Amino acid sequence: MKIHNEAYNISLLDSITQEFPSYTQQINNQLKDIHGIQEYIQTCNQIIDQKTDICVNKYAIDYANRLRKNIKKLDKWAELQGIECYRIYDRDLPDYKIAVDRYGDWIVIHEYASPITINTCKTLQRFLNIIFTTLEVLKQPVDRVVLKTRIKQKGKDQQYQKLNQNDNYLVVTEFNARLLVNLTDYIDTGLFLDHRIIRTMLGHLSKGKDFLNLFAYTGSASVHAGLGGALSTTSIDMSRTYLSWAKRNMCLNGLSGNRHHFFRANCFRWLRHAKDKFDIIFINPPTFSNSKKMSRSFDIQRDHLELLWYLKCLLRIHGKILFSNNKHGFKIHLSGLESIGMMATEITAKTQPKDFTHAHSVIKSWIITHSNKGSSIYN
């Protein structure tokens, strides 16, 4: 991995004020260079008594043993695969419900449980144990660790919410692709690791084809399609930031020129007016969205059939749609698809990466094609 910005400096805590409780000083002494630790202890400080006895350097034996077992298997596998970014711990143990991702020589720790819950003192102690143990097992420098705490916030789309203003990027390798990630500025890093196999599949499917990437995010799927020999790529996303990021990713891989198109647009609105036809379409829509830029809310379970009908109108006769989503309990409307002249083949087992083992990490995916039967219920 190399640093995209030579001035990159992720030193996170310039100072920690004396107003924090006693455990803050321990953190300041031992963990102060971990990105995200300041925000974490500020949140905990609101609800934990200042006299709380918290130990920063306590070892989590069960977690350590599992982490060692995982990295022994996964580090060698990732090197053989030619990937720098992968998950080394995926909520394996019930007492340690976190995820740990490796991005080259950086480590990102995701905490899924909010610190403002029942038994907050116990939650904090356990999380600090995890941090300390991760540093010890991986022999990881503290200034190469990033913490991400996912706290549910009503009315906000966390994926697009900017947390910091560093604007520093790393270039990482995924098979034959080079991709930009940003570990600190957003909840997500710019690369969905659980879609890795889907991206390579799209690369193979797209050779000599016209490729459409809806909800394109940072365009990593378009990069793989382009490198796979797509005749053209079209990337659609509503975010100016992510579309710009997608363009940079494409240019980083030598994919520029008039064969590669980018449109900043509401994907639902764009679909209603699109005229071009495509051979391969990739869509990983949001589970739910109530963006102000949309006329009504979107729910993947309720609205996926209508969405797929619009895609049918753009799909060439022998074309394929690769449709994926991560809604727990999602059921695709097979009879509805048949009624609009489409058929779906589930490929979830083929697209599940080796490093994503938790049930909630499963990304369901299907190949959808014309069945040449049925008539549209939306006509």
Per-residue pLDDT, 106: 96
| Last-in-domain residue among 152, 170, 198 | 152
Residue 119 located in a structural domain: yes
Number of C-alpha atoms within 13 angstroms, CB side, residue 124?
Answer: 24
The domain in which residue 117 lies consists of 8-152
Per-residue pLDDT, 54: 44
Name the domain count of the chain. 2
Per-residue pLDDT, 4: 35
Q: Are residues 137 and 194 in the same domain?
A: no
Q: Are residues 207 and 347 in the same domain?
A: yes
Nearest 10 degrees: Cα torsion 186, 188, 190, 194: 180
Nearest to 169 by CA among 221, 254, 90, 241: 241
Per-residue pLDDT, 347: 98
Q: Are residues 130 and 206 in the same domain?
A: no
Residue 339 located in a structural domain: yes
Q: Are residues 194 and 289 in the same domain?
A: yes
Q: How far apart are the first and last CA of the chain?
A: 51
Longest CA–CA span in the chain (Å) reads: 70
Residue 250 located in a structural domain: yes
Angle between helices 196-205 and 220-227 (to 10 degrees): 40
Residue 355 located in a structural domain: yes
Per-residue pLDDT, 52: 46
CATH code: domain of residue 134: 3.30.750.80
Angle between helices 120-138 and 37-45 (to 10 degrees): 160
Q: How far apart are alpha carbons 309 and 45 in whole angstroms?
A: 50
Question: What is the gyration radius of the CA atoms in the chain, in angstroms?
Answer: 22
Q: Which token pair is 175?
A: 């098979």
CATH code: domain of residue 298: 3.40.50.150
CB 151, CB 159: distance < 8 Å: no
- Work out the number of other CB atoms within 10 angstroms of the CB of residue 116: 12
Q: Which token pair is 57?
A: 């350097």
Name residue, tokens 């080259």.
104
Please enumerate in sequence order all residues whose Cβ is within 8 A of that of 367, keeping only pairs 6 or more positions apart, or say none: 320, 321, 322, 323, 344, 345, 347
Q: Are residues 105 and 206 in the same domain?
A: no
Per-residue pLDDT, 376: 47
Angle at 273 between CA 271 and CA 275, to 5 degrees: 90
Q: Are residues 123 and 231 in the same domain?
A: no
Q: Are residues 225 and 341 in the same domain?
A: yes
Q: How far apart are alpha carbons 75 and 325 in whole angstroms?
A: 27
Q: How far apart are alpha carbons 67 and 188 in whole angstroms?
A: 22
Residue 170 located in a structural domain: no
Residue 168 located in a structural domain: no
CB 89, CB 100: distance < 8 Å: yes
CB 203, CB 228: distance < 8 Å: yes
Residue 1 located in a structural domain: no
| Last-in-domain residue among 99, 130, 152 | 152
Q: For each of the chain's 379 residues, which pLDDT tens digit applies? A: 333 332 222 222 222 223 234 444 555 555 666 777 666 656 555 444 444 444 545 678 999 999 999 999 999 999 999 999 999 999 999 889 899 999 999 999 998 755 444 456 677 778 888 888 999 999 988 889 999 876 554 444 445 555 555 678 999 999 999 999 999 998 899 999 999 999 999 999 999 999 999 999 999 999 999 999 999 999 999 999 999 999 999 999 999 999 999 999 999 999 999 999 999 999 999 998 876 666 678 899 999 999 999 999 999 999 999 999 999 899 999 999 999 999 999 999 999 999 998 877 789 999 999 997 654 444 3
Per-residue pLDDT, 373: 62
| Adjacent-strand bridge partners of 53 | none
Q: Are residues 191 and 298 in the same domain?
A: yes
- Work out the number of other CB atoms within 10 angstroms of the CB of residue 239: 17
Per-residue pLDDT, 13: 29
Q: Are residues 194 and 104 in the same domain?
A: no
pTM above 0.75, yes or no: yes
Q: Are residues 148 and 215 in the same domain?
A: no
DSSP 3-state assignment of 225?
Answer: helix
Q: Are residues 16 and 147 in the same domain?
A: yes
DSSP class per residue in 209-276: SEEEEES-TT-HHHHHHHHTT-SEEEEEES-HHHHHHHHHHHHHTT--STTEEEEES-HHHHHHH---
Q: Are residues 32 and 111 in the same domain?
A: yes
Residue 277 located in a structural domain: yes
| Last-in-domain residue among 136, 152, 168 | 152
